[in-house]
Amino acid sequence: MCSRPSVPGPWKAISISKAINSQEAPVKEKHARRIILGTHHEKGAFTFWSYAIGLPLPSSSILSWKFCHVLHKVLRDGHPNVLHDCQRYRSNIREIGDLWGHLHDRYGQLVNVYTKLLLTKISFHLKHPQFPASLEVTDEVLEKAAGTDVNNIFQLTVEMFDYMDCELRLSESVFRQLNTAIAVSQMSSGQCRLAPLIQVIQDCSHLYHYTVKLMFKLHSCLPADTLQGHRDRFHEQFHSLRNFFRRASDMLYFKRLIQIPRLPEGPPNFLRASALAEHIKPVVVIPEEAPEDEEPENLIEISAGPPAGEPAVVADLFDQTFGPPNGSLKDDRDLQIENLKREVELLRAELEKIKLEAQRYISQLKGQVNSLEAELEEQRKQKQKALVDNEQLRHELAQLRALQLESSRNQGLREEAERKASATEARYSKLKEKHSELINTHAELLRKNADTAKQLTVTQQSQEEVARVKEQLAFQMEQVKRESEMKLEEQSDQLEKLKRELEAKTGELAHAQEALSRMEQGGSELSSRLDTLSAEKDALSGAMRQREADLLAAQSLVREKEAALSQEQLRGSQERGELQGRLAEKESQEQGLRQRLLDEQFAMLRGAAAEAQGILQDAVSKLDDPLHLRCTSSPDYLVSRAQAALDTVSALEKGHAQYLTSLADASSLVAALTRFSHLAADTIINGGATSHLAPTDPADRLVDACRECGARALELLGQLQDQQALPRAQPGLVRTPLQGILQLGEELKPKSLDVRQEELGAMVDKEMAATSAAIEDAVRRIEGSLRSEGRG
């Protein structure tokens, strides 16, 4: 067996210079392969970096982009010591990325993202040496690297999420430039951008598989609420990765270079442990490469002299002209040298053939290994699924046994449960009665509340009733006074009459006594008359006393009526004053509450308008911010944002009209204003970002439309913060500039993302015609400016 040929320094320099150049074309695989073989030969990347440091990377963004691509391939497929050699040059990689990140260059922005990915890759693999730079490890190695500590698993998952974010950010940056640029997958400029995504696809397939495994492991150790943030981040990366794989699969450039796996329609359900058995590891397959047409290069240097065939030709010309030297033929030594040179050439050709066959066998074996790994992974999943099913059956059996024990226990508890049920029913009936009582009480309270509300209206009626009662009492008092006076007069008359009769009777009695004295012995007639007169006297005395008592009773009744009337009048006046005070207090409270409600609603509206004004002012200021020049956006996204902002204008008009109708409710206007301000600010910022990639004239018109939209919106927000100008505000005026932004976004949309091979000629002709017209227009402008300066 022959020893392994050495890879000399000059050959490496040629391969590096051919692989890393300023031509806008993808790196050829043969040059990258020779650089990778060199790292395995010298067991490191010292020679690679010694030549790479001398490259003029700050002078060309394409040169820097291809350098990052070659470094990515060397990290993935080179010798393991390459990682430690690259660690010493981290500052150089970071400086290149920062340099191009501060410049407004299309490839420069990609270089900035690519260097961040490379730095993240180097840091991750140095921190976790169990994972090689190619990320190809078995599930056993992954389990060993994760360990059993939940904190380590948690931290490793976060680092893999960060790793995946850098990979996806690079793919999104490349596709974003392809969406708005002329270059497509079949043109060299497009292939130059797309070539590094092959390594990105290989990295992402492994990272996705490892994050799924780690997420299931975390969910088996921690509660689901704790991992909500991890699930949200994984779902976002899953949809981005699935979209990336789908777009890459549709491009012809990738179809002949790599077989991209397809992800499932939805992310795995980590809340269900058995879903791990449904997970299929995505396998990336690199098809067998066809032998490239390449010029043979010397892998073994024999001597520093001229090529093999040249000395023979020179010798023949010399012999023909001057004859053979000393008349003798070539000696045996020259013949041996020629024979050795021919053998070396044959050996070199055979060695090249052996290398090509070995590479072909290696690619075939890799494909077989990938397929076997896929089958092994499928068998592992089936085994794991069977284990999960077995565990479920065991769990169900244990549950059935527990149910049998519980059924035997429940038989003794059934009677107690029935008793408890009867007691519960009785308690339920009592609770039902209480509930009905509460309902009645509630209804009574409602009725009392209604009575209290009506009491204010009844107060006036009660006041009128009190006045009427007062008048009636006064009238009755007058009647009582008149009646009492009449009775007093009648009784006085009767008393006078009785007194007169008494005096007459007394006189008659005196006359009778005088007659009796004259008649010493009266007869029975005089005695009876005397008795009659005495009885009449007693009756008159009793009647007089009765009349006096009636008069006193009438006087006391009049005094009681007067006291009751005065008390009733006093009570009525007090109640009337109290009710009037309560009515005034209620009216003042209601007025204060109404005014407070109006003030709070307007304060809420003014605060929302001020916040929206700040958001829009920040968005408008981004149009003049030099740092914003690095931000870009696609016309499709701008159109979606502008359409969403347009949809909110109608809601804003409706909310404004409702608020003017009812000043006590500003909720609809505040909600519409909040959504409008965010969407309008988003539209302005994305409009400015879209203008950075648009031609000059449409870009200027787009920026002017964004400024007009911001000015109209700020004017509207100023009116909404002023109570005097609020009724005159017209939200519909913002619709016109938004429609202008929407129309410009539609005009800036790319007509197609990829073209067929037969359409490339027509596209090139159109672009050449447009370029010629632009050049002629620029020439006319320059000549006009020169003529105007000449006249001046």
Please answer whether residues 176 and 252 qualify as being in contact, where contact means their C-beta atoms are separated by less than 8 angstroms: no
What distance in Å separates the CA atoms of residue 725 and residue 166, rounded to the nearest whole number?
51
Residue 285 backbone phi and psi in degrees, to 5: -115, 130
Q: What are the angstrom distances between the C-alpha of 683 and each of 380, 652, 764?
A: 50, 17, 33
Please answer whether residues 108 and 58 qualify as being in contact, where contact means their C-beta atoms are separated by less than 8 angstroms: no
Q: Give the pLDDT score at 240.
A: 96
Two tokens at 715?
Answer: 């004017």
% of the chain surpassing 70 pLDDT: 78
What distance in Å separates the CA atoms of residue 115 and residue 109, rounded to the nearest whole number?
10
Q: Give the pLDDT score at 66.
A: 95
Please answer whether residues 257 and 196 qualify as being in contact, where contact means their C-beta atoms are separated by less than 8 angstroms: no
Q: Which single residue is written with the structure tokens 């092994």?
A: 376
What distance in Å separates the CA atoms of residue 246 and residue 673, rounded to the nearest whole number?
38
Q: Give the pLDDT score at 183.
A: 43
Q: Give the pLDDT score at 392.
A: 81
Start-to-end CA span in the chain (Å): 86
Q: Give the pLDDT score at 132.
A: 94
Please answer whether residues 38 and 165 qualify as being in contact, where contact means their C-beta atoms are separated by less than 8 angstroms: no
What distance in Å separates the CA atoms of residue 559 and residue 136, rounded to the nearest whole number?
118
Say whether 435 sits in a helix, a strand or coil. Answer: helix
Say whether 86 sits in a helix, a strand or coil. Answer: helix
Q: Give the pLDDT score at 318.
A: 35
Residues 6+ apart with CB under 8 A from 108: 61, 64, 100, 101
What distance in Å separates the CA atoms of residue 575 and residue 568, rounded to the nearest whole number?
10
For the whole prediction, is pTM greater than 0.75?
no
What distance in Å separates the CA atoms of residue 41 and residue 30, rounded to the nearest whole number?
16
pLDDT in tens, 74-130: 999 999 999 999 999 999 999 999 999 988 888 999 999 999 999 999 999 999 999
Two tokens at 685?
Answer: 């910022």
Q: Give the pLDDT score at 432.
A: 63
Which amino acid makes up residue 90?
Answer: R
What distance in Å separates the CA atoms of residue 173 and residue 116, rounded to the nearest whole number?
13
Please answer whether residues 544 and 498 qualify as being in contact, where contact means their C-beta atoms are separated by less than 8 angstroms: yes
Torsion angle of alpha carbons 361, 364, 366, 370, nearest 10°?
A: -160
Please answer whether residues 714 and 617 qualify as being in contact, where contact means their C-beta atoms are separated by less than 8 angstroms: yes
At 377, which helix (H) or strand (E)?
A: helix 332-518
pLDDT in tens, 733-770: 899 999 999 999 888 887 644 444 455 566 656 656 66
Binned average pLDDT, 10 residues per bin, the chain of 792 residues: 42 78 91 91 90 90 95 94 93 94 89 96 94 92 90 94 96 82 67 94 95 94 91 95 93 88 92 88 76 39 36 39 43 80 85 82 82 82 80 81 75 69 67 66 67 66 70 73 74 74 73 64 60 74 76 78 80 80 81 82 87 89 81 88 90 89 84 89 90 86 91 90 87 90 87 51 62 65 65 59
Q: Give the pLDDT score at 156.
A: 95
Please, what sign has the CA dihedral across residues 105, 107, 110, 114? negative
